[in-house]
Amino acid sequence: MPTAVMATSAMQACIDACNACLQACEECYTACFNEADVQARTRCIQLCRDSADICALASQYMSRNSEFAKQICGICATICDACATECAKFQDAHCQRCAEACRRCADECRRMAA
């Protein structure tokens, strides 16, 4: 098996966690716009957008076995941790799902970055 394919398969759990987090964050910030207290959710929305973007980038970098994937995963873990903390403050199902997806992603990305 070619080296790039083997390296990517070793990263699959992290790629999957990033993709799941991307989806949860997109769903969360879209749903937050429709909540009555949308003004209180400004940071949640911003962090969900940042998290979704960095998760997409991390997934892309790992998929292509980029030499910079570990660094991207490191910052992805940091952003996902911040997003999980913020989303956890809200009791809506979408925020709770997002917080959990962000925690899983941060854990996988920390393993990748190590």
Q: Give the model confidence (pLDDT) of 54-78 as tens digits.
A: 999 999 999 999 999 999 999 999 9
Residue 80: what pLDDT? 98
Confidence of residue 83 (pLDDT cuts 50, 70, 90): very high
Better-predicted residue by pLDDT, 21 or 4: 21
Residue 1: what pLDDT? 45
The answer to whether the CB of 65 falls within 8 A of the CB of 7 is yes
Residue 3: what pLDDT? 52
Overall pTM surpassing 0.85 (yes/no): yes
Residue 68: what pLDDT? 97
Residue ranges and CATH numbers for the domains of the chain are 3-113 (1.20.1270.360)
Residues near 4 by Cβ (< 8 Å), separated by ≥ 6? 64, 65
Mean pLDDT of the chain: 93
Percent of the chain with pLDDT over 70: 93
Residue 64: what pLDDT? 92
CB atoms within 10 A of CB 89: 12
Residue 7: what pLDDT? 60
The answer to whether the CB of 100 falls within 8 A of the CB of 2 is no
How much of the chain is helix, strand and coil, in % rounded to 5? 85, 0, 15
Ramachandran region of residue 65, left (φ > 0), alpha (ψ -120 to 50) or beta?
left
